[in-house]
């Protein structure tokens, strides 16, 4: 029997959509995928080019030689021809992208920008900001053709942002990165003038850190449905998007860990689950389970899933493990499926509740939901937790990013003379003081 491997996820997703388009039943599609896998394995073993028609002829001859039924051979040939159509469509898209810098319109360029970002699996926020600044750049030079744009135009645009509109240095740098990506990956202009454009110097930003009493005051002022979210942000250092994207299977109560999938920068990590929140989380999960069991399954299509996963496992959204930890109250109607789906709680609802809670607590700081993350890192650093550990918990790639928190805590500098022989004694006293505070080595103590 011919050996074969499973199809690559991206190819399998596109191939499945084509099979759906051609009206093939789900029960038949697995055989077409099997034949395509066999064909690709045949090409790899015989060093044939998968996109060449002569490779298909050689594959058919090999099947005939092995005495395969004619119906199977026709099925295999049809599967490979669908693959050829997919390959030709991809090549055609690449050719159009390569011509964008010469004879394409702005609308096509913006669409190509979105494709380039999605191919690299950048976050939706990156897609939104890059598209926004490219559209601003387009309006600024509306009468100039794309092929005439150079790094000089970028410099003039950034100067206008700084002098005329007086935008912040962070916005200027965001605009520069957006246009650099646009010129490099869409227009295919690797012009040195772009890289040599003068960039705004970003000012040192000190994050807003709440004291422990302020954290307690804000969480106490929050409505019940938002309080657990705030405690998790402070107790684990998660970003608000990471917390709201949690699913049931991401919390491991036995190991007391939380798995964060595809956080910022498409990175994943594991953080400790605060022990003090276990009773609240168990009660919250019990309430979620009751709601899940009481939902009318007739027109409920489950929760939203990543696109590839949803195509591969159409019914996974109805399973308990994929439900949101913090679901939205209302369901979203999807016309294509003629049913309802559930999204997680929207960030703006929680952010609005935080602003009201800060105002009601009379805290003289411009605190936001992200301040809980800053407070998490600062309080751990204040408790003498290793900064490398804090870097790992926060998911920072560079230690320099974590080092900013050294400016947010009170430094206990040794001022009197001390012999190196007495350092162990001094460190022992500091460790004893830390243990007296009953602080966890990985998470600040939070009050339920």
Helices 26-46, 53-65: axis angle to 10 degrees equals: 100
Give the helix/strand (H/E) hosting 341. strand 339-342
264 tagged catalytic: yes
Per annotation, catalytic residue among 264, 269, 284, 318: 264
Helices 70-98, 26-46: axis angle to 10 degrees equals: 80
Per annotation, catalytic residue among 185, 344, 374, 396: 396
Return d(Cα 249, Cα 288) in angstroms, integer: 13
Residue 328's nearest CA partner among 391, 245, 213 is 245
Six token digits for residue 289: 């389970």
Per annotation, catalytic residue among 33, 227, 239, 374: 239
Return d(Cα 259, Cα 272) in angstroms, integer: 9
Return d(Cα 346, Cα 56) in angstroms, integer: 50
Q: Coil, strand, or helix at residue 415?
A: coil
407 tagged catalytic: no
- Beta-carbon contacts of 367 under 8 Å, excluding residues fewer than 6 positions away, are 208, 210, 214, 218, 354, 358
307 tagged catalytic: no
Residue 39's nearest CA partner among 81, 95, 88 is 81
Supply the DSSP string of 67-83, one letter for each residue: T--HHHHHHHHHHHHHH
- Beta-carbon contacts of 192 under 8 Å, excluding residues fewer than 6 positions away, are 151
282 tagged catalytic: no
Q: In a 10 Å sphere around its CB, with 0-12 CB exposed, 13-18 middle and 19+ buried, how is residue 371 labelled?
A: buried
Q: How many CA atoms lie within 13 A of 116 on its CB side?
A: 23
Q: What is the DSSP letter of 442?
A: S
Per annotation, catalytic residue among 33, 373, 374, 379: 373
259 tagged catalytic: no
Contact 382, 240 (CB under 8 A): no
Q: How many CB atoms lie within 10 A of CB 214?
A: 18
Q: Which strands sit side by side in the sheet containing 339-342, from one edge to the other?
A: 300-303, 339-342, 332-334
370 tagged catalytic: yes
Residue 43's nearest CA partner among 85, 76, 90 is 76
Return d(Cα 336, Cα 301) in angstroms, integer: 11
Contact 94, 119 (CB under 8 A): no
Six token digits for residue 207: 């994050």
Six token digits for residue 365: 């700081």
Six token digits for residue 226: 């938002």
The residues carrying an active-site annotation are 239, 264, 370, 373, 396, 405
């Amino acid at each position: 029997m011919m050996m074969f491997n499973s199809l690559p996820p991206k190819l399998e997703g596109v191939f499945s959509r084509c099979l759906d388009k051609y009206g093939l039943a789900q029960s038949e599609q697995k055989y077409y995928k099997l034949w395509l896998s066999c064909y690709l394995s045949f090409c790899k073993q015989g060093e044939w080019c998968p996109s060449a028609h002569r490779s298909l002829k050689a594959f058919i001859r090999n099947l005939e030689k092995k005495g395969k039924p004619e119906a199977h051979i026709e099925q295999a040939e049809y599967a490979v021809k669908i693959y050829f159509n997919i390959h030709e469509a991809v090549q055609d898209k690449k050719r159009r992208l390569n011509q964008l810098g010469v004879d394409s319109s702005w609308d096509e360029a913006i669409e190509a920008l979105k494709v380039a970002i999605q191919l690299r699996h950048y976050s939706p926020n990156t897609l939104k900001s890059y598209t926004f600044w490219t559209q601003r750049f387009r309006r600024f030079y509306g009468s100039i053709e794309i092929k005439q744009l150079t790094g000089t135009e970028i410099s003039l645009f950034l100067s206008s942002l700084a002098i005329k509109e007086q935008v912040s240095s962070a916005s200027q740098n965001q605009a520069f990165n957006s246009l650099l990506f646009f010129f490099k990956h869409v227009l295919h202009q690797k012009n040195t003038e772009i890289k040599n454009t003068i960039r705004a110097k970003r000012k040192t930003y000190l994050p807003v850190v709440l004291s422990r009493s302020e954290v307690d005051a804000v969480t106490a002022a929050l409505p019940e449905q938002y309080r657990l979210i705030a405690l998790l942000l402070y107790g684990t250092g998660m970003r608000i998007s990471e917390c709201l994207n949690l699913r049931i299977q991401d919390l491991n109560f036995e190991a007391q860990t939380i798995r964060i999938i595809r956080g910022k920068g498409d990175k994943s990590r594991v953080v400790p689950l605060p022990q003090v929140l276990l009773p609240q989380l168990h009660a919250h999960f019990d309430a979620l389970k009751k709601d899940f069991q009481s939902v009318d399954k007739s027109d409920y299509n489950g929760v939203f899933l990543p696109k590839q996963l949803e195509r591969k496992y159409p019914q996974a959204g109805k399973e308990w493990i994929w439900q949101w930890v913090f679901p939205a109250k209302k369901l979203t109607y999807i016309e294509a499926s003629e049913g309802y789906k559930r999204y997680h709680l929207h960030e703006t609802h929680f952010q609005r509740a935080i602003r009201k809670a800060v105002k009601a607590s009379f805290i003289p700081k411009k605190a936001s939901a992200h301040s809980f993350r800053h407070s998490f890192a600062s309080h751990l650093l204040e408790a003498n937790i290793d900064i490398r550990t804090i870097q790992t918990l926060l998911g920072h790639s560079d230690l320099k990013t974590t080092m900013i928190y050294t400016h947010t805590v009170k430094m206990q500098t040794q001022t009197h003379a001390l012999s190196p022989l007495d350092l162990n004694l001094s460190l022992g006293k500091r460790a004893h003081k830390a243990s007296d505070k009953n602080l966890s080595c990985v998470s600040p103590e939070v009050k339920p």
